[in-house]
Every structure is written in C-alpha cells, then in structure tokens.
Amino acid sequence: MRAGARHRQPPSVLAGSVPGNLVYMIHQASITVSTSGHRDMHDITDAVARVVAASGIRTGLAHVFNIGSTAAVGTIEFEPGLQEDLPELLDKLIPPSRHYGHEQAWQDGNGHSHLQASWLGPDLTVPVREGRLALGTWQQIFHLECDVKPRRREIVVTVMGE
C-alpha cells in the first residue's frame, strides 16, 4: 500500500449513498452478438443505449467490454466504407501468418486475431450525460470480430453514476 492510500474511502462506498446527498448507482447487463467470423462488424450503439436507459443513471459512465481475447470494441462512423476499411487496415498491419508465436504454440490459425483484438482493445468507456450516451451524431459503438470462425459474443455493459 502506498503512503496515504489507507486514508482513502473504501471502494464499497460506491455502491451506496455517501455524505453530501450523492447517490451512486451501478447497473450491469449483457449484450449478445452472433458473429459470422473474421471482419464481421456490428453496431451495438442501440443495445448499449437501452442498458443506459434501463439504469436510470443521468450522469456517469458506461463501460462496454467484450469477454474474450479475439474481438474488439470501439467507436467509428458506422457506414459501409469504414466497415470495410477498419478490418482491411488491421489485416494490413497484422496479417494472417503462420509465423506468430501463438501459431507455433497452438496452430489454431488465429494468431492475427489475438493481436488485432489486443491492438484495438476489448473495451470502451462513454460518458453518460442527461441519461444518454454522449456520442457524436456520426459516432457509433462497434463490435469487431477478429476470430477466424463464427462466435457468440457476450459484451458486458456496466453503467455507473448518479
């Protein structure tokens, strides 16, 4: 423990009320996406927005997390051009190859999938403002499948705030 850390409030205080009339809430739900395999991209904005609406939280943060190491979450203008461009760019940067250490260890054909997913990252945090996701008009939340076969994905959405 670092010096001074013992004087901080314990984390459990976030689950209830704290002095000063602030009431923190946490709401969690899962979204399921069935993907067709490598490069399949889904717009999950509406599904995340429904979780935020159900939370009743007006001001806070929504955290979106893909469970699994071969898919990614982020924001993009969700339109057909970029839906092609992003996976295309990833395949140029991190192409399928038998030379990855993962392939030499496992020979399961998805070394590039793991690397692409880690490169983009499995999660995203979006501010919640006036009860809604604070996203731009041309900014949607995407889920990108990087694995080489169809997968059923669970995406956990955690909304925190007041």
Indicate whether 116 belongs to the interface with Zn ion (CB under 5 A).
no
Query: Applying CB under 5 A, which part among 25-33, 42-50, 103-111, 130-138 lies near Zn ion?
Result: 103-111
Tokens standing for residue 149: 């076969």
How big is the chain by its Cα radius of gyration, in Å? 19
Helix (H) / strand (E) containing 91:
helix 80-93
User: Is 157 buried (19+), middle (13-18) or exposed (0-12) by CB count in 10 A?
Assistant: buried
Indicate whether 97 belongs to the interface with Zn ion (CB under 5 A).
no
d(CA 72, CA 161): 25
Indicate whether 104 belongs to the interface with Zn ion (CB under 5 A).
no
Cβ proximity to Zn ion: between 42 and 112 the closer is: 112
d(CA 27, CA 138): 26
Residue 96 CB, shortest distance to Zn ion, in Å, is: 12
Cβ proximity to Zn ion: between 102 and 132 the closer is: 102
Indicate whether 37 belongs to the interface with Zn ion (CB under 5 A).
no
Cβ proximity to Zn ion: between 68 and 74 the closer is: 68
d(CA 144, CA 71): 6
Number of amino acids touching Zn ion (CB under 5 A): 2
Of 35, 110, 116, 140, the residue at the interface with Zn ion (CB under 5 A) is: 110
Indicate whether 108 belongs to the interface with Zn ion (CB under 5 A).
yes
Q: Which residues bind Zn ion (CB under 5 A)?
A: 108, 110
